[in-house]
Each structure stands twice: as structure tokens, then as C-alpha cells.
Structure 1
Amino acid sequence: MLAEQWRLDGSVALRPEPFGALAYHFGTRKLSFLKTPELVDVVRRLEQSPSVEAALTDAGVPEPHWPAYVAALEGLATGGMISRRDPA
């Protein structure tokens, strides 16, 4: 996943919250919690980043924490909150 390009799905809205954000998918009506502001920052950076690794780096996430963030992103991908981008 680190080398892949992802984005917030077009049917998903993020609502900022003190703990991070709520992600609501208008198609499936699924609600997900992004439990830290840092994860929200990473998700927002996905669209403009050449890879997940770049989004993590640009958001200032320390490399030892990457596995936890990748696990969270994989959960968001499974739930349809984020989707792969086609390489440009």
C-alpha cells in the first residue's frame, strides 16, 4: 500500500471533530471514525500525494508509526472510504 496512490472516495465527506473526524459514505451510509487529527491529515493529503508513503512523510508521521497508519488506511479502503487512484 505504501507505494500506491489513494484518495478519499468521492462519495465520502469528512466532518472534523475534536478527536479527528467522522467519515460518512453517502452511497453506503457507512460511518467511520478517524481517531486522530494526524490520520485526518494523511487522508486529506492522499489525493495530491504520489503515494501513501509520501502522504505519511508530508504529514510528519514518524516512520515507526507507519504500520498503524497503514492498518487504519487499509480499514478505510475495505470500508470504501478511500479508493485507489489511477497513476497519471
Structure 2
Amino acid sequence: MSVASVFDLDRAWDLHPQVSVRPEPFGALLYHFGTRKLSFLKDRGLLAVVQELADAPSARAACQAAGVGDLPRYARALAVLAESSMLTERGPQP
């Protein structure tokens, strides 16, 4: 079963520690130093969501904080990022 089919907006997610984000006029480039994968975020709204993940208690809250609409579209995009190891689920905070 793929991450895309089980991605949970109500869980806490964050960028993988080995991922670097470089904002660009079109959105951003994400580079994973461990897997050497490069991902393009072609939407500034998705970049805003990704940047909100670290401080949000859930992906849904990050979407709300970023002010994005069309939640199913952003959930699919986040699922693809999780499936490619750009995002990692964050465990409970101590």
C-alpha cells in the first residue's frame, strides 16, 4: 500500500531532515541529500504549506495556516512528497 493511499492530514508531518528547500519564483526546489531526489513544487501555496509543517500540529493545520483552498489537491501533493521521502511523519513531541 502506498503512502498516497494512507496519507493522513490529521497527523503531524515535517520535511525529512536531509531535505533542503530552495524557494523559486515558480514555487520551490526540494533536494533530498540522502536519496539524491529532486522535487519541484510548482505552486507557491504548496511551498507555504511545506514551510508551515514544522510548526503545525497536523498537515491539515499547516494547510489552514498557509491559507490554501482545495484541500484534496494539497493532500494529494503532500502524499506524493511523503511517498518520495521528502516528508516524514513526526512523532509525538515530549
Alignment TM-score, normalising by the size of structure 2: 0.89
Q: What CA distance in whole angstroms lies between the structure 2 residues aligned with 1:6 and 1:52? A: 6
Q: What CA distance in whole angstroms lies between the structure 2 residues aligned with 1:46 and 1:87? A: 14
Q: Which runs of 4+ in 1 moved over 6 A?
A: none
Identity, % of aligned pairs? 51
Alignment TM-score, normalising by the size of structure 1: 0.94
Equivalent positions of 1:55-70 (< 5 A) are 55-62=62-69, 65-70=70-75
Question: Paired residues, what number?
Answer: 86
- 1:10-68 CA-to-partner distances (Å, cap 9, x unmatched) read 10001111110000000010000111111011001101100111101111112xx0101
* Residue of 6, 14, 37 corresponding to 1:7: 14
1:41 is aligned with what amino acid?
A
Q: For structure 2, which runs of at least 5 residues remain unmatched after alignment?
A: 1-7
Alignment partner, residue 22 of structure 1: 29
Q: What CA distance in whole angstroms lies between the structure 1 residues aligned with 2:58 and 2:21? A: 21
Alignment partner, residue 86 of structure 1: 91
Q: What CA distance in whole angstroms lies between the structure 2 residues aligned with 1:50 and 1:2? A: 10
SS class of match (2:29): strand
